[in-house]
Structure 1
C-alpha cells in the first residue's frame, strides 16, 4: 500500500487547477502580449474540465487564450514544463487542446507572428449594427475621459455571426450555467458595448461586453423581452458598464407599444442588484413614486404607471417601491422605521404562511409522529429568526442601491 501511496503522490504532482492554468488577455498593442499585468483568469472551467476544474498530466501547465481587443481574433497555445507520459509510460495526460477546441471556433492561430498580423488588421474593425448610446467614463490613471458606445446588432450584419462565435466563448469561463444560443432564431437581439481608443492616430474599437435578449410572444399581440446572458469582460468590470448597458437596453424596448414588460432568465444575485439600481434610477422621478405617495404604501398606481411608462412588472415595481421608500424615510425615527419593517416582513412572510397552510393540509393525512417531525422543521422561533435575517439582508442590499444612486 505504501508503494501505491507514493505513486499517487507522484501522480498528484501532475494535477493543475485549470482556473489558474488558463491565461486570458485582450490585446491592443504588440507589447501587451508579454505584459503579465494584463492577464486575467476564468472564474469557472467546469464545463470544459469537469466539476473539479482540474487538468491531469502536466507540470507548469499554461493554456494561453489571447484575443485582439476588437475583433477577438484568437491565439490559442498550450505550454507546460513536463508531461506525465515522459515519466510514466502507461499514464496518458488529458487532451487539453481538444477540450479547448470544442469551445473556441476554428480559425484561431497558434503563433505570436500570426497573432500580431491579426492585430495589425484591428484598424479595419468596426462595431456591428446601429449605435444606441454614447457615454464617457473618467479614467483616473490616464487622466482623461474615455468614450464608450452601445450598439444593437443582428445576424444580418456582415461578419457578426463569426464575431459572435468568438465572443460567446467568454460565457463558458465567466457564467456558471452558460450555454450557447441558437443564433438562427430571429427572436434574439444582441447588444454590444465598445470602447473607442487611439492607436497611431487612428480610432479603434475594443470589445467591452454584451447582452443577448430573447423576445417571447405574449397573447394576443405583445412581446416580452427576456435578458438571457449578460457579460462585461473582466478588464472592464466595476466601471459602471453593466448599468449603462442594462439601462440602454431598457430604454430601447420601452419605446415600443408592443412590449408588455422586460424580464430576465434565471438572474444571478449580481444581476438582481444591477437591475434594482437601474430600475430605481429610471423610476425615481415618476409621479407615483413621489415621497408623499411612498409613505402611503405600495399602490396599484405604482404598478400601473411603472408598467405603462417603463415596462416594469409588478414584482420589480414592488422592489423599486421598497428601495425608494427606504430612501424617503428617516430610519432613526422609531415610528417610520417600525412601519417600514412591518411592511417588508409582511411580504417576506408569504413563503412561511404558505408552509403553514400546507402543514394544515398534511395534518389530515399524516400520522402523529410524522406530523411532529414536519412541525419541528418549521419551529416558530426559527421562522422569526430567519425572517429577521432575511429582512436585515434585504435592507443592507437596499442601502447599497440608495448609496449608489446618491453617487450617480
Structure 2
C-alpha cells in the first residue's frame, strides 16, 4: 500500500468500527420480534475472529445482524452499512466480514428475511433434546416468574448434532479462549437450559444456555467429570441460572457411584465465582465446615467429607475452607484476622518452598550467574513478601464477592 498522507489516514479512521458494537444478536419468537429493537444483545468479545483490536475496517454505519429462532436456532445473517471505503481512492480494501465470520457463523444460515420468517411456525412443535432432569421457576427483577427446564443429552440424540453445531457458535463471542469440541468423542455430556413459556395456550421453548462436561478416566475404575464450557445467554443472565445449572450437574454426579470428584477446565473469574458460591452453599451445611472447626484450620476431615458427600477435589475444598473461614472471622479482631491471613499465606507460600528445594539442588551444579537466570527472583525475600501480600489481597477480594452473594441468598 502506498504511503498515505495524514489527511487520508484520518479519512480512513472514519471507516473503522468496533466489531463488538457492529454485531447484533437476537432470539426471535414471533414475527413481531424481527423489527422490535428489544432483546438485541452484543458480543462480549470478538478478538478470536477480528484480532486483538476487535475492529472492522472499511465501513461506516456497519450493522451485522445474526438472528436465531428462539428454540430451533434457525439462523439469519445480514450485513448492512451506510458507506464503504473506496478501494481505488485509498488503495486498501474493506474487510470481507462474511468471510472472516464464516467459520463461526451457524451452519445453514439464511440471508433472506422471508426464508427466516418461514421457519418461525416450526417453533411451535419444538421439544428439547434428551432427558428432563430439573425444572424450576425464577422471579425476574421486574417481578415476573419464568419457568426453566434442564435436559441431559448425548450427541447421538436424533437431531442434536445439527442443533449443537448451531448452539456452539456463541462461545467465541462470550467465552474467552473458547474452542469447539470434538463431538465424536463419546465421553462428552451436554446439559441444556430452556425457558418454557406458553403461547396461545401451548407450551413453547427458548434456549437459555448450556454446559458441556467431559468424563475423564480415573484409575482403576472411576471417572472425573470436568466442566468444560458453561454459557448462559445474555437475555437470561442475572437470574441465577448458572448456579442452578452447576447444582443440577452436581446432583447428577452425586448419584453416580463411579464419580471420584468434579473438576473445572480453566475457569474464568466469573465462573469461578459461581462455582465458589455453589460449593460454599453446600459445604456450609457439612459438619466439618462449621465455624468453630473452620477457625481451627484446614483439616483432613474437611477434605474427606467434601469429597465423599459433594465430590469436591482437595484443591477446591481448600478454597471453600478459606472463603467460609473468612466468613466466620471477625476482621475487627486483629489477632483473629492475623491468624486467618497467615493461614492463607502459608498456602500461597508453598510454591516458594518447592522452589527453595529446587535451589538447593541446582546450586550444586550451576554457576551463580546461571543460577540467578534460572531461578529469577524466587529467592528474593522482599519480592516474595510483596507477592504473598498482593496474592492474599486478591484472593480476599474474590472471596468477599462470594460472601456477599451468600448473604443475599
* Residue of structure 2 in register with 1:222 after alignment: 222
Q: Give the Cα–Cα distance (whole angstroms) in 2 for the partners of residues 11 and 291 of structure 1.
A: 63
Specify whether residues 44 and 140 from structure 1 end up closer, same or farther in structure 2 by C-alpha distance, changes over 3 A only: closer
5-14 vs 122-131, greater mean Cα deviation = 5-14
The whole-number CA distance in structure 1 between the counterparts of 2:361 and 2:245 is 47
Residues 32 and 280 of structure 1: is their aligned pair in 2 closer, same or farther, counting only changes over 3 Å?
same
Where in structure 2 are there 5+ consecutive unaligned residues? none
The CA distance in 1 between the partners of 2:371 and 2:154, in whole Å, is: 57
Superposed, 1:98-247 pairs within 5 Å as 98-141=99-142, 143-247=143-247
**Partner-residue secondary structure (3-state), 1:398:** helix
Note the C-alpha offset of 1:317. 1.0
Whole-Å separation in 2 of the counterparts to 1:2 and 1:185: 52
2:9 corresponding residue in structure 1: 8
* Compared CA separation, residues 369 and 183, structure 1 to 2 (3 A): closer
Residue 290 of structure 1 deviates from its aligned partner by 2.4
Deviations 1:40-84 (A, max 9, x none): 111222222233222222222111101111111111001111222
CA RMSD across the alignment: 2.2
* TM-score, reference length from structure 2: 0.92
Determine the structure 1 residue equivalent to 2:384.
383
Q: Gapped runs of 5+ residues in structure 1?
A: none
* Counterpart residue number, 1:352: 352
Aligned length: 407
> Using the alignment, how far apart are the partners of 2:131 and 2:86 within structure 1?
53
Which residue is equivalent to 1:28?
29
Q: Classify 1:162/1:369 alpha carbon distance in 2 versus 1 (closer, same or farther; 3 Å).
A: closer
- Per the TM alignment, residue 397 of structure 1 is displaced from its structure 2 partner at its CA by 1.8
Cα deviation per residue 1:320-353 (whole Å; 9 max; x = unaligned)?
2112222223232233222212111111111233
CA deviation vs aligned residue, 1:9-61 (integer Å, no higher than 9, x gap): 33333222211111111122322222334221112222222332222222221
| C-alpha deviation, 1:370, in angstroms | 5.9
Is 1:307–2:307 an aligned residue pair?
Answer: yes
Report the more deviating stretch, 335-344 or 10-19.
10-19
Q: CA deviation at 1:369?
A: 5.4
| Alpha-carbon distance in 2 for matches of 1:318, 1:237 | 29
Residue 45 of structure 2 aligns with which residue? Answer: 44
Q: Deviations over 1:104-152 (max 9, x none)?
A: 24322212222222222211111111111112111242x3321111111
Q: Distance in 2 between matches of 1:259 and 1:273?
A: 23
The alpha-carbon deviation at position 366 of structure 1 amounts to: 4.7
